[in-house]
Amino acid sequence: MTRLKNSAGPPNNGNSSEVKAEPETSAPKRAAVRRVTLGFRTARMLPRVVWLFGFASLFNDVSSEAIFPLLPQFLTSLGAPIAFLGLIEGGADALSSVIKMISGRLSDRGPRRLLVTGGYTLPGLARAGIALAAAPWHVLTARLVDRAGKGIRSGPRDAMIADAVDPSERGRAFGLNRSMDHLGAAVGPLIASALVALGVGLRATFVVAALLGLVAPALLFLRLREPAPVEAPRTPETGAPGEPRLRRGYAPYLMACVMFALGNSSDAFLIVRAAEVGWKNVPLLWFFHHLVKSAVALPGGALSDRHSRAIVVAAGWAAYALTYVGFGFATSPTQIVFLFLAYALYHGLAEGAERAIIADLAERGGRGRAFGIYHGSVGVAALPAGLLTGYVWGHMGARWALGLNAACAAAASIFLFWLAFVGPLRRTLLGAEPANPTRALPRDDV
């Protein structure tokens, strides 16, 4: 006969022999196993649009990272000084930051599908333009168009991902997107290196990269569907349609993100530091670094679905601060390897959860604006971060420059911990449900 498991309640009609008491200690074990199983299952069963954006990010980053490492060599062949590369990247990032704020707001009113697809198309066309460049200013123009495309797509894409999933799955969704993005960043330089090793010229390599990049908009054009329009919320006083709100906690959280961005300088400084310490094969190191980031991004996002996202992000920022201190004091190539692997921990813990918090703190129909402000603000803050790091590095050395980055990250981490335990995000730790910035919000928010 089938045995019944029952740890409470009276015997069934006196047939106590058919009831098997189960130890109470096994319940937590079953719950833990269930959480792990459901974590992998929900990642695999995320909505199609999340996977679609993941593959789009993969192909786009394969294309981008196949070109970027070769740009300095290509500009030199066109007669441009190395300082021109700084002008190109600085101007492109500044333009992208401004466009992100505009496109995010527009996406809440207009067709997001058009903005996202166009935002992935422009970079592919721009990279083909680099292959035809005959002067340095041609490359500058192409990079501006490339980064403009990133500015157009970032807010609408993230808003569509946030709207497509349950609040309890947002960390996984954004973690998956970041994971596939990093995978593309790892594969791109390998493809470029293989083509160059086979004797393919730089221009032909750029053409191949551009074609790979155009796979992303082709996928979106064929498979992406425009979500149903969202009815604007009505004001209690007049009943007239109003603008979707950014919830309490958005402004201070954005302040913490900007504070961290002021210390989040370009990873190019870490490559320079690795070369200073004596590491020879930088492309190989960069490849494994991106692989590790790709591997940890999804588990990090899933972790933020089960615990307070703010605490997970703060822990990631703390890991960033510690690794930057380590880079400043590193003296051997072996230390550099371990530091790059540890540095990937920040990306896994923070990147997906950062964006999930933005979605948590914005009402449906206003998330494009929320993501646009977030991406734009962080992008603007990254400009002085790079300039200040370069200045301090040149005048005081690597330890002071990287230490300054670590100090900004540590301050942002402490501030975010305060927001989670004492400030506007503290409600996530007081509810009956698992700690999460939006678990206390109505389920009909998505």
So what's the pLDDT on residue 30?
A: 42
The pLDDT score that the predictor gives to residue 390 is 80
The answer to whether residue 83 scores a pLDDT higher than 70 is no
pLDDT in the model for residue 415: 93
Q: pLDDT tens digit string along 12-43? A: 444 443 333 334 334 444 444 444 444 445 55
* Confidence at residue 147, expressed as pLDDT on a 0 to 100 scale: 86
Which is higher by pLDDT, 269 or 212? 212
Take residue 338 and report the two structure tokens written for it.
Answer: 């371990």
Q: Find out whether 278 and 333 touch, Cβ atoms under 8 Å.
A: yes
Question: What is the pLDDT averaged over residues 91-109?
Answer: 80
Each residue's pLDDT tens digit, 44-72: 678 888 899 999 999 999 998 888 778 77
Q: Give the model's confidence band at 406: pLDDT under 50 very low, under 70 low, under 90 confident, else very high.
A: very high
**Core vs surface per residue 357-383: b (16+ CB within 10 A) or e:** bbbbbbbbbbbbbbbbbbbbbbbbbbe
Across 133-158, average pLDDT: 86
**pLDDT: which is higher, 246 or 215:** 215
Phi-psi region of 13 (alpha: psi -120 to 50; beta: other; left: phi over 0): left
pLDDT of residue 230: 53
pLDDT digits (tens, 9 = 90+) for 346-373: 887 788 888 889 988 888 878 888 888 8
Where exactly are the structural domains of the chain?
Answer: 46-223+246-435
- What pLDDT is stored for residue 445 in this prediction? 37
pLDDT for 410 beyond 90: yes
Per-residue model confidence (pLDDT) at position 43: 59
Name the CATH superfamily, with its identifier, for domain 46-223+246-435: MFS general substrate transporter like domains (1.20.1250.20)
Q: How far apart are CA 314 and CA 8, in angstroms?
A: 41
Q: What mean pLDDT, rounded, does the chain reach? A: 77
Q: Could you report the per-residue pLDDT of 104-124, keeping only the tens digit for each?
A: 788 777 778 888 898 899 988
Q: Which of 170, 432, 119, 201 is nearest to 304 (CA)?
A: 170
How much of the chain exceeds pLDDT 70, in percent?
Answer: 79
Please give the model's pTM, rounded to 2 decimal places.
Answer: 0.75
pLDDT for res 238: 42
The sign of the torsion formed by the CA atoms of 339, 343, 349, 350 equals positive
Question: How many Å apart are CA 78 and CA 203, to the nearest integer?
Answer: 12
